[in-house]
Structure 1
């Protein structure tokens, strides 16, 4: 029996080996016949995809989130978000058009899947999912029905949504999209030179101005300078981006902001409930001033720059040309309150309000000197402080007798300091001058220019320093004040020319002595000494 069992097992194994071999050969023949099956199998084995950021992406309600998809062995993949557990069913394909192995899909969580737009839910969803890189693309974005009509009313609810990436029906990676409820909002005021207000058109421009030191945090704004109100929050991103679809130009974010802030309808017809408001009102005037948002945008004194990558919205205003709908017609030197309220999900947790105050002050200059006391040199400097924005270029002028005119510029530093330099190397001694800063009313300072003594001082005993309290020194080398002691000085007996062409004087000093008398006195002393010796 044992031998029979052995023979039977051997036969069975042999037969099975034939079957396996036959199947293998048959499969190979089929693959060779059409030339595709084996290749597809190999390609599928080499395909992979993963969700970047460790598989977790986060945004606030109404925000925009970027989902990075890394691809290997394929240029396309399907991304699914939500499904049964949260009754949300977004699906779309990513296409790696630039062949860099990565597609970043940007999802507008305010817009995706909404049914209260004038467009169909799938058209709205297709507009809500875009590719970050120009070479990449998104296709077939849609909401799949889950036992009823697809879509949602209002922005996606705060919760955790499952995300997976598939290729040819095979799941390659999983992750989550977390939408957070409304939280704390950060708001700040910044100051900007008037000349730079019109140059901030993109988020890159704003970041460059910060790097250059031209855009600085400050709640004290000089009248005529720019004020920038920044709001760091997710809530504005989705609704403002969706609203820009109604405009096709560089000012689209500003025009969409105008529509939302003033309650005007826009082309996609979203219900008026989902909006945000913006106001700037005075806090220290008898008659309250309120900025006319639409009017200020119309005259280009108010613009909006979104920085979606950093969840920050910049509202930029030129204080000199803002339009007011109530109160005085021009800005005043007082305190103002800016308020941006995002109302993306009414009735839930209440809107997010970003509030900050800034004060408008006069354009002022304070010199470090009470009077000017300048050296006649090629780099005579004047210093001071000012209320105007850092980065501002202030023109400075120096006028004096004998048609003296000099011009210079001073760039305001981060702490409000400035320094203007003048070439006064050819100015004669004791020339009266007046310094002025044309851009700042009544910013003048009087003084004199004094020749430099190449031997180490200044003619006339001046120090050459511009200080607020120092006057020309009236003491001699012995420290005695001539006027106080009654000591007088004789007129010069001759002059010599110092290096550089400066005239110096030589003189004898002493009560009533001249040069001749001094020589005779010395000779008389010598003769007398000899006689005594004899």
Structure 2
């Protein structure tokens, strides 16, 4: 009997092979095998090449889900991102038989970037429309969906809102597992907005959209619908672009969109916008934005067709729009409906003239004229500026989000006193005024110059007045009898002060009934100290008269 010698390396390899073949696949329940083993590579201690188990281990390219659990709404498009070896191929298994839906999608990384993005139209998944499961799956540019195999029976209606398994395999080996969570559709809100008329037909990024319930004649009318569960349905509609597919969508049993005059102003049924004829007249441009669950329905009001034969919308008309996701679409259990109203107004511009309806502009390079308007924010307004009835300059400005504007003027070379007029092209708006003198007519109140404090007027208290003789007027005395007058400069802002010197005898000749008067002095020299000395002298004089 021949004895076989097993080297340590061979023993290790056999043990690892036994472990690999007895281990359950990733995602299987303990003790179960689903036949999808995860590939593994076994390394030696570095002295020999890597070894691979011939039973359960392979050199399959690694692959994984890039973003974890995928969440989407039934009726929308789910994006499943997979990381894989550069230029490699793989298979995605979506769903399980017990959930009634299971599909196998073979994909290729054609652009060798190591990333594959697969898109699942959840409205078409399950082949309930009869178009084939292949129509439900696509890949982003640079990648390719080679083949799709639906392993369960075709569904009678769209796939149910539920949680579905996701698995990715390469070379027959299971690489990663995750989940696809599908929820029920809903319609959240409808709001109106506007944009400059020349932006009709542009992309959402190029359009200056402002939400409002008031739209000027000639501007773009935008109905913004926030909804989930329509983007897959929209993709499944016939048409060469999003606008044509939206037309098919709203004229199908799945959804509806209407625009009619407000019923409050009509005794009978008000006229509606003829949706089909309006589409034919290029009145609509539709921009789906599934990344934020929004559909922008932009309209050219001048191109809308009406059921009563009217030519176009009219100023002061008020309209009500309705968007509905119908239960006949089978993606929703009951109708979801949202409404909004909007009113059309005349195009107008108002220039703010200020007090007395006159512009008072500074002779500077940054003078500004402000105003308001009814036109859409983002609109460019053109103005003509005249100086003394002579053409001076043409200026344009952009309407801000709150429908105001600021017109910059360069008046640095215009002399104060010159007449100025500002008018808007194509609008009945004009304001007149003049260039003010910044020295004699400042725009802001000037800061007052500091003045010396005024002297305080000293009034006798009631007690002092009761003790005095009522027919005596107190005056200060000096040793000289000659009256002396001192004057201060009135131009300096101070009043003239006279100091009269009289003898006691002259003081006694004052007529009866004369009361003491306090003098208010202004200007330099009359301080608190002087006022105090005068008060003391006055008290001494009163005391002396009492003694006499």
Question: Is TM (by shorter chain) over 0.5?
Answer: yes
Q: 1:108, 1:233 → 2: CA distance?
A: 16
Asked if 1:137 corresponds to 2:144, the answer is yes
Q: 2:227, 2:189 → 1: CA distance?
A: 7
Aligned position for 2:160: 157
Aligned position for 2:403: 416
Q: Which aligned pairs between 1:248-263 and structure 2 lie closer than 5 A?
A: 252-263=241-252
Asked if 1:77 corresponds to 2:90, the answer is yes
Are residues 21 and 199 of structure 1, via their aligned partners in 2, closer, same or farther at CA, if it must alter by over 3 Å? closer
Q: Which aligned pairs between 1:282-301 and structure 2 lie closer than 5 A?
A: 282-283=261-262, 284-286=264-266, 288-301=270-283
Asked if 1:227 corresponds to 2:221, the answer is yes
Asked if 1:335 corresponds to 2:301, the answer is no
Aligned position for 1:517: none
Q: 1:73, 1:368 → 2: CA distance?
A: 65
Q: Which aligned pairs between 1:42-53 and structure 2 lie closer than 5 A?
A: 44-45=58-59, 47-53=61-67
Aligned position for 2:107: 94
Secondary structure in structure 1 of the residue aligned to 2:265: coil
Are residues 40 and 414 of structure 1, via their aligned partners in 2, closer, same or farther at CA, if it must alter by over 3 Å? farther
Q: 1:21, 1:397 → 2: CA distance?
A: 94
Deviation at 1:219, TM superposition (A): 2.5
Q: 1:344, 1:383 → 2: CA distance?
A: 52
Q: 2:88, 2:291 → 1: CA distance?
A: 25
Deviation at 1:135, TM superposition (A): 0.8
Q: Which aligned pairs between 1:431-510 and structure 2 lie closer than 5 A?
A: 431-440=418-427, 442-450=428-436, 452=437, 456-457=438-439, 461-463=440-442
User: Which of structures 1 and 2 has the larger relative contact order (alpha carbons within 8 angstroms, sep 6+)?
Assistant: 1
Say whether the 8 Å CA contact 1:46–1:72 is kept in structure 2. no
Q: Which of residues 271, 284, 302 is equivalent to 1:302?
A: 284
TM-score computed with the length of structure 1 as normaliser? 0.67
Q: 2:324, 2:392 → 1: CA distance?
A: 54
Aligned position for 2:173: 170
Deviation at 1:51, TM superposition (A): 1.9
Aligned position for 1:492: none
Deviations 1:70-112 (A, max 9, x none): 2247711111112311221222112111222211101111122
TM-score computed with the length of structure 2 as normaliser? 0.65
Are residues 114 and 439 of structure 1, via their aligned partners in 2, closer, same or farther at CA, if it must alter by over 3 Å? farther
Aligned position for 2:45: none
- In the comparison of the two structures, how many residue pairs are matched? 401
Deviation at 1:462, TM superposition (A): 4.2
Asked if 1:63 corresponds to 2:49, the answer is no
Asked if 1:281 corresponds to 2:274, the answer is no
Q: Which of residues 364, 375, 380 is equivalent to 1:393?
A: 380
Deviates more, 1:419-428 or 1:219-228: 419-428
Q: 1:344, 1:135 → 2: CA distance?
A: 37
Are residues 39 and 317 of structure 1, via their aligned partners in 2, closer, same or farther at CA, if it must alter by over 3 Å? farther
Deviation at 1:427, TM superposition (A): 4.7
Q: Which of residues 329, 333, 337 is equivalent to 1:349?
A: 333
Gap regions ≥5 residues in structure 1 = 1-10, 26-36, 201-205, 264-272, 471-509, 511-534
Say whether the 8 Å CA contact 1:285–1:334 is kept in structure 2. no
Are residues 207 and 398 of structure 1, via their aligned partners in 2, closer, same or farther at CA, if it must alter by over 3 Å? same
Aligned position for 1:382: 369
Q: 1:208, 1:41 → 2: CA distance?
A: 59
Q: 2:383, 2:248 → 1: CA distance?
A: 44
Say whether the 8 Å CA contact 1:235–1:352 is kept in structure 2. no
Q: 2:139, 2:292 → 1: CA distance?
A: 17
Q: 1:39, 1:408 → 2: CA distance?
A: 80
Q: 2:422, 2:413 → 1: CA distance?
A: 17
Which has a greater percent of strand?
1
Secondary structure in structure 1 of the residue aligned to 2:400: coil
Aligned position for 1:496: none
Deviation at 1:241, TM superposition (A): 0.8
Gap regions ≥5 residues in structure 2 = 15-50, 446-490, 492-548
Q: 1:216, 1:58 → 2: CA distance?
A: 30
Work out which of the two has the higher radius of gyration on C-alpha atoms and give 1 or 2: 2
Q: Aligned-pair RMSD on alpha carbons?
A: 3.4
Are residues 136 and 87 of structure 1, via their aligned partners in 2, closer, same or farther at CA, if it must alter by over 3 Å? same
Secondary structure in structure 1 of the residue aligned to 2:287: strand
Deviation at 1:464, TM superposition (A): 6.4
